[in-house]
Amino acid sequence: MRADRYIDGPPLGLDLYREVADLPIVSPHGHIPVELFAEGARLETPGQLFVGADHYVVRMLYSQGVPLESIYGADDRDLWDLLVENLGLFDLTPSGLWFRETLVNVFGVGGPAGAYDRIEEQLASPDFAPRALLDRFRVECLATTDAADASLDAHRGLAPRIRPTFRPDAVVAIDAPGWAERVEARDYPSFVATLEEQRAAFKAMGATATDHAATSADTTRLSEAEAATIFAAGIAGTVTSENARRFEAHMLNEFARMSVEDGLVMQLHVGSLRNHNLPLAGRFGPDIGADIPVATDWTRGLRPMLEAYGNDPRFRVILFTLDESTYSRELAPIAGHYPSVLLGCPWWFHDSPLGIDRFLDRVVETAGIANLAGFVDDARALTALPARHDLWRRRTCGWLARKVEAGFAGEDEARRIARELAVDLARRAYNL
Amino acid sequence: MRADRYIDGPPLGLDLYREVADLPIVSPHGHIPVELFAEGARLETPGQLFVGADHYVVRMLYSQGVPLESIYGADDRDLWDLLVENLGLFDLTPSGLWFRETLVNVFGVGGPAGAYDRIEEQLASPDFAPRALLDRFRVECLATTDAADASLDAHRGLAPRIRPTFRPDAVVAIDAPGWAERVEARDYPSFVATLEEQRAAFKAMGATATDHAATSADTTRLSEAEAATIFAAGIAGTVTSENARRFEAHMLNEFARMSVEDGLVMQLHVGSLRNHNLPLAGRFGPDIGADIPVATDWTRGLRPMLEAYGNDPRFRVILFTLDESTYSRELAPIAGHYPSVLLGCPWWFHDSPLGIDRFLDRVVETAGIANLAGFVDDARALTALPARHDLWRRRTCGWLARKVEAGFAGEDEARRIARELAVDLARRAYNL
Amino acid sequence: MRADRYIDGPPLGLDLYREVADLPIVSPHGHIPVELFAEGARLETPGQLFVGADHYVVRMLYSQGVPLESIYGADDRDLWDLLVENLGLFDLTPSGLWFRETLVNVFGVGGPAGAYDRIEEQLASPDFAPRALLDRFRVECLATTDAADASLDAHRGLAPRIRPTFRPDAVVAIDAPGWAERVEARDYPSFVATLEEQRAAFKAMGATATDHAATSADTTRLSEAEAATIFAAGIAGTVTSENARRFEAHMLNEFARMSVEDGLVMQLHVGSLRNHNLPLAGRFGPDIGADIPVATDWTRGLRPMLEAYGNDPRFRVILFTLDESTYSRELAPIAGHYPSVLLGCPWWFHDSPLGIDRFLDRVVETAGIANLAGFVDDARALTALPARHDLWRRRTCGWLARKVEAGFAGEDEARRIARELAVDLARRAYNL
């Protein structure tokens, strides 16, 4: 593969990239299960690793007529072959690019055809044990994402390299089936108290951040009385969907208050309408690639939370969007004003070569570099880490080189900014 | 004119283009009247062809102070002169580009000044008879757009080269003046039955697709009882505007059901607020260039239809938008998941050099190439076909060449994808 | 600095730029106080000029933790030092670029460190008197922005070079604290009559335009009776916020009527939610960089106004947006149809190198060049004028050169369009 691949623009881009290519990986947000880092744990088998567990791949196969029955529960080698046969679907997509890069750079394999055995063998070897890969990939720090009520036993002894992230979405979804059985608290004040205790436990285990996903950016606070009433309806199983959503908005505001108090950095991922394809969700569950974005009103949505805590030097919130039209319209102006707000990198579908350009093009002129939170890979597969971070570094360096070429920055500035984008901003944003 | 015009990027773009430049034209969606293909039929005169019948041209002239009175009903040569005098208005617009290309490549005329007579003469000659032009332009297949209740007599004997498309918008607009007189059915079940019969007649005449335009993407199904009640109000002339819109949303869902059953591909064009300039519509009617786009919520709008039929292998729907912010936010994720959904090419205002780039930039990374439906020209003038398809081919080849240059694809892939974009995807999407 | 800085693309860009670089400055919209042009007036001191009075700079400093207390009321030299110390925050932002350009080209200073004394001295010198700078900058015409009820005394004798602009936002905000005391009229008809008289006074003093800011694009007209009722509630201090917004929408429609009658060009700036950070507004007032954009529905919002006056040859309205997603979706189609509508240049956050490209890329293909209103600098500091206009000229010339390179225009067209974008369109749009 060409040294300058994915680096659009003048040769300076490759120079800039070479200075950051081998910097450590700082990964403050992702979905690698902590169990992988237990003594003796191994990664999944090839088909599961590259197909079954990757919702980007599953959705594309499904979109072209591959039934989910032939994916979930399939023989692992068949899964691999399914990907190989359909590899053309991934032309010009990030999934295709990450796959190609990972085969070559992690497994030393030139192409996928006939590579199953070799990859399977490597995955089973000690060199590919997750802890060994952390060293090989120069992972300085990696955060997992853990349910608020998760036991953190598996995290014991892993910090500061591996850290948990407090994710309470499931415990605040008070109209979800089974919710009342899941939470222990029977009234709102003890519910809040439990969350505060759980956060303290996360923090003790090395967590520096929380993570929150919502369809809407609404953060309207309820009165304590109303919150208590709605909570009680949740326990009784009589809460309306509308009130459940209002409760979630309220809890975002409440989580911001907790962040002010305990210093955990709040991550907010907004705009995915989960399980859009309900019939399929009923059969195959969530995370099958059927979450579809919707437009987001960040400006009005965040206002209650930012009025309450946005000027507090103890508060920090990092925003991630699926609505690119808000980059220049809302997010960059918000981050360019509120001291508490940083912008997360392009998320999900937008973590792509052109998605990265669009993000930088639309936010930097208004928010500058210092209001960005750097890169997070959001990865579910440990083996994907190098490709994700490498693509970000290549694209940001290409982008910076084009700025230098057009006279917007000097080379020295570009070099400094390239390092910030690669690791420094993330370290600072997440208090690592 | 330069051989590499409109092909931004490295020289490879021209190479790619040369391989697809002379492929046949597949035109599965457009607005050329079928009457043109009758024995002995001729195209309009120059002024009518290039000005009076082209709402892109009319709107631009009007926007700069040319009264519609001087366009509609004007002497044909005056119309031509009007365009020539105002040609500067079309600098850097697709209309200007298509006009220039058509003059040179279809009429062999270097520029518009003084060309009226020569063009008029050619238009009257047998070489410019519509059927002759189909051959000259290498038109493999061309679909017209026909009202649901249209007699298809003029289509007899023209398939498979010329095919009708079933467009029921007018017959489901139950609050439109004259609607109750237009439809024969007096109750909802017979209305639905009539539509099914009409679709069968279209199919028998070679149709492979239907076409639906809507301001909103809403596809919420009504109960049969409510649909019947609203329909009856339409017949009685008492339906509210709100219920008429709900009925249209319901009918989109119902048309999807019919598509599942009869296999006609459903095209959905969403987001134009028709006749924005009501005073002008009152005087000059529709299609004068006063339809203005609005934002679209595809994700929530299509959900009822896609939950019902989106996973059915017999269903196919092709989506066209006027809201570019939905390309990456909604359309690519939807097409990249649902097996039934393909994305139509940039539509209307967005069928332009930069509009094509924006489309490819925003959808391919998430939806891939295989979830695209190729190109449709949407043309009203037969003479415009070569310029429209040629521009698409030039732009897509330039775009692909830039991908190769930046290391995202190999040359062989780019060559294959160039052909798919030029004709293969459209053939497949429309079952041609 | 390089001669071709900020001109992305082929060398032709610099050629084009050289032909427009020294054209006069036409500045039909901005916020320079008219008092500056009084005999003997001087600009602010350096810290105030470059920091305290520049809400772009204030917001960025605040976003990175600089308390507003250390900005407002600070010693002027400290303010300057604050900027110098934090200059890195402005890397790759327009603020940084304008600052750098202004230092070099207006003050002849290579960099900010240690330059305070030299700049302070220059600012106090006769060569930097505002009237002298007008000559030096070749300012042909400059419009200030003045409250509807402003005394225009300071404008006396300054036209035609300096002209006022009628801005009635404050006097139609009938729920704002102190409003009832501010306006003299006690009933709606005399309120309207007063506005008409004020407009006539502005016109007599050289005004050619009005300016209106609104959060929403709604222009729905009320009945006279309802307008009178709501106005009376405003006087009584009992108007609801919702009715106050409806009254503002109505007044936009009413101001359009007045424009038809008196010929003042209407400017409409839509989409800023002012004072998003209410706690901070309570302490430091407006214009501290805490106005955050929201999405705009131009298509439906403007419809009542455009139906009423949009086809009238006496009416002209220039639209400015903070919602870039409306460029191609709504604004270009509207301007490309209605004879009364022109599009203002990229506004506020979008008056930036990439913002200019996005604007041209998204509107020109649909609206053409002739439906644009050219450039306005919107500047608050007289010294910023050269940098603002120069950046626009560089970027537009670079953009045009890329069009020529790709075969979309000839060099002669590009030269003509470069001049139009630099000054001619603005002269024409504002009747200067």
Question: For B44-128, which CATH superfamily applies?
Answer: uronate isomerase, domain 2, chain A (1.10.2020.10)
Nearest CA in chain A to C66: A339
CA–CA dist B16, B416 (Å, integer): 9
Cβ neighbours of C415 (radius 10 Å): 19
Nearest-by-Cβ selection for B292 from C313, C330, C365: C330
The CA distance from C417 to the nearest CA of chain B, in Å, is 9
As for the ipTM of the complex, it is 0.98
pTM more than 0.95: yes
Start-to-end C-alpha separation, chain C: 34
User: What phi, psi does C69 have (nearest 5°)?
Assistant: -60, -30
CB contact under 8 A, A337 and C89: no
Provide the CB-side half-sphere exposure for B149 (13 A, CA): 14
Residues of chain C that touch chain B, judged by Cβ-Cβ distance less than 8 Å: 295, 297, 299-300, 303, 306-307, 310-311, 313, 325, 328-330, 332-339, 341, 361-362, 364-371, 403, 406-409, 413, 417
CB A203 within 8 A of CB A262: yes
CA distance B327 to chain A (A): 10
CB-based contact A277 B306, cutoff 8 Å = yes
Q: Name the burial class of residue B108, with classes exposed (0-12), middle (13-18) and buried (19+) by CB atoms within 10 angstroms of its CB.
A: exposed
Contacts of A290 in chain B (CB under 8 A): 337
Contact in structure between A315 and A350 (CB atoms under 8 Å): no
* Tokens encoding C333: 């189609």
Is the Cβ pair A273, B299 closer than 8 Å? yes
Of B313, B368, B413, which has the smallest distance from its Cβ to A65's Cβ?
Answer: B313
What subunits make at least 3 CB pairs under 8 angstroms with B?
Answer: A, C
Three-state SS letters, B195-209:
HHHHHHHHHHCCCCE
Q: What is the pLDDT of residues A66-116, one digit of tens each?
A: 999 999 989 999 999 999 999 999 999 999 999 999 999 999 999 998 999
Owner of token pair 């994720």: B333
Decide yes or no: CATH 1.10.2020.10 for domain C42-128: yes
Residue B40 one-letter amino acid: G
The reply to whether CATH 3.20.20.140 applies to domain C12-40+138-429 is: yes
The packing angle between helices A76-85 and A116-124, to 10°, is: 130
Each residue of B236-293: pLDDT tens digit?
999 999 999 999 999 999 999 999 999 999 999 999 999 999 999 999 999 899 999 9
Residues of chain B contacting residue A270, judged by C-beta atoms under 8 Å apart: none
Please check whether residue A187 is in contact with residue A266, taking contact to mean a CB–CB distance below 8 angstroms: no
What's the gap between Cα B52 and its chain centre?
19
Per-residue pLDDT of chain B (432 residues; tens, 9 = 90+): 899 999 999 999 999 999 999 999 999 999 999 999 999 999 999 999 999 999 999 999 999 999 999 999 899 999 999 999 999 999 999 999 999 999 999 999 999 989 999 999 999 999 999 999 999 999 999 999 999 999 999 999 999 999 999 999 999 999 999 999 999 999 999 999 999 999 999 999 999 999 999 999 999 999 999 999 999 999 999 999 999 999 999 999 999 999 999 999 999 999 999 999 999 999 999 989 999 999 999 999 999 999 999 999 999 999 999 999 999 999 999 999 999 999 999 999 999 999 999 999 999 999 999 999 999 999 999 999 999 999 999 999 999 999 999 999 999 999 999 999 999 999 999 999
pLDDT at C186: 97
The C-alpha angle A297, A303, A308, rounded to 5 degrees, equals: 155
Whether C329 and B352 lie within 8 Å, measured CB to CB: no
> In sequence order, which residues have a C-beta less than 8 Å from that of residue B225 and are 6 or more positions away?
none
Q: What percent of chain C has pLDDT over 70?
A: 100
* CB distance C17 to C410 below 8 Å: no
Contacts for A191 with CB less than 8 Å, ≥ 6 apart: A183, A185, A231
CATH topology agreement for domains C12-40+138-429 and C42-128? no
**Among candidates A311, A325, A370 on the partner chain, residue whose Cβ is nearest the Cβ of C325:** A325
Q: Where are the domains of chain B?
A: 12-41+130-429, 44-128
Cβ-Cβ pairs closer than 8 A, A with C, add up to 120
Report the distance separating Cα B232 and Cα B174, nearest Å.
10
The rounded radius of gyration (Å) of the Cα atoms in chain C is 22
- Cα dihedral sign, C279-C280-C285-C286: negative
Contacts of B354 in chain C (CB under 8 A): 361-362, 365
Interface test with C, best of B56, B58, B63 (most C CBs within 10 A): B63
Determine, for residues B63 and C299 on separate chains, whether the beta-carbon distance falls below 8 Å: no
Identify the chains in contact with A, defined as 3+ C-beta pairs within 8 A. B, C
The CATH code of the domain at A12-40+137-429 is: 3.20.20.140
User: pLDDT for C145-200, tens place per residue?
Assistant: 999 999 999 999 999 999 999 999 999 999 999 999 999 999 999 999 999 999 99
Contacts of A366 in chain C (CB under 8 A): 93, 349, 352
Cβ–Cβ < 8 Å for C317, C268: yes
CB contact under 8 A, B333 and A292: yes
Distances (CA, A) of B329 to A325, B324, B325, B351, B366: 9, 9, 7, 20, 10
Give the gyration radius of chain B's Cα atoms.
22
Instruction: Kindly report the CATH number that applies to the domain delimited by B12-41+130-429.
Output: 3.20.20.140
Termini Cα distance of chain A: 34
Residues C84, C57 contacting (CB under 8 angstroms)? no
For residue B28, whether the previous peptide bond is cis, meaning omega lies within 30 degrees of 0, is no
